[in-house]
Structure 1
């Protein structure tokens, strides 16, 4: 009898053990296998939300098949207390493990709404946009210039949300004055900038910030990034360049930046100026003259006058020899690289060619022919031509 009871108990234990292993295997498969989502969604984790609340929300939105298995997996992975508030993009068929990783990895939210304050040469605009999960592309909600427009209601409402992301983007070629003047109007920043950063020392880049971020700290970050870029590229510079210091290379890079917006042209443009310096020729580039007129405080908004081309300023390269004393804008990495590793060319001149690029020339005669073509193009448009570098 006891032998029968023991046999039955052993059989029952084995059955229970098999069921337990089967349940574990099923749970593991449910946690690591493809999830039920058929299209991407943005899932919001509220500040202070518990694992239980998040798991139920994921199940309600169809991101996970079973909230209990998600919680068990999170606890087993020891990240159940590591949820990061924000909005996160959950891709179709993401496993529970993938979802858990997205919600606990840290860093910025991966979807939802974003405010991007874009500072360019001509404008400074606040852009509120929202990620469309289906296309994984941002859709513009509203855009305004804080210097001219009142903040729209959509922006004011969004600015109160806890999961909104904030970004500052500097375009290549902006001046330090333009950056500081624009940052003063960013109502989501704090702190006063008491000193204008030296021209050329701010890195055109994208900066993730938080609401209430300190302006001087942001400027320091911009300066640190530019210094790092300049030091890195200076260390790999070509031989025989006409720069005694990294600052002189930065001056050249700023001129290249203002002369062309085409990445593939930058090294050619740099070669023209380096060739002119090597021959003792004046640089004769209009952007430096413009900087002498404006000091970087805004856009000139008109063509240069003959009197301005002849006026002696430290930046008028039609008058002075060599490089001007300071950069004329904040150049991006590609322009700094072009100044430090230019193409080897025989060119001494260039002028716009009507396609957005430039026609380069080795001789003044060739250049004059290119200028005639450019003036004809501009005459057809009813505009006054700028002729680039010339004799």
Structure 2
């Protein structure tokens, strides 16, 4: 006579038993799955939003270019302000790889909305002289009105940065402001200049007009140059010496796009922090799942004892409760992934970003969900499997 072998449940039967176990405790299942969902939603949203933000930032860098260098007048060894030569732009243009060079110069002028405003109330707006080719070098645009050109750069007209226009209360070109005691007509308002944001706070006038009406000495303060991408490092090495021969130590050379690249790096650090918070939320959700499964084992001791008495093996009991734990976590993970994707799509659309959700992030989130479910279900499953059929049936 052969000893009968215990019957093993198939995969579909195991899943069906697990689903029945969860459906019997719907309220508790929903609350436990919610903890998992919050953790997964946080992780997916953080990765999606940070990836979308970086993609938008990198697109801006590609559009604006990383080949812009600036050379700015500093101070000498005695702490005195250095004046760059008037021929600085021409000298920079002689550098072989340089494709374009232009300049701005600080102008000592008090800017007011009108002559009835006290002279000391300048609204935080400063004046700079600019060349007509400045916008082309910076990749900037005029939001309203026109830019400086060869016809109006000699006239008492100005183009305001976006923030300067807001502070002065200027909404449309054609209005007048005061620079020192000179009436100046606003002919244009710039869109925000992403590479050189300090230009958003200034009033720009032509070099000839600044010299004629505002006492400008004609010396540039900042040189902007663009060169080929492959030669940026070489140009950077000789730019200060070309701008101010013999006084290169007083010239500060920088690349504005580095600030945007640093911002992307800062975003990565913030992403790591937020992912840590998401992992903590996921851990808390896992504790909730473990708690639910432990209580489920205690409440279902008679069921476990009956199944054992009818021939269910310890392995079958262990697999049953582990399956319930995995299904509970998968339910929370799927819900959380959907919530995270929805949050990314909504927020990206509000920020005018192109939403980017890496498939690897979704795969990692689901893997984390299953891992959490497996770990949370190990102890309850083992505890259920160790129950003796007689003791379980006699439990009150």
Shorter-chain TM-score bucket reads under 0.3
Greater length-normalized contact order (CA 8 Å, ≥ 6 residues apart): 2
TM-score using structure 2 length: 0.22
Q: Give the number of the structure whose residues are more often helix, by fraction.
A: 2
Q: Give the number of the structure whose alpha-carbon radius of gyration is greater.
A: 2
TM-score using structure 1 length: 0.22
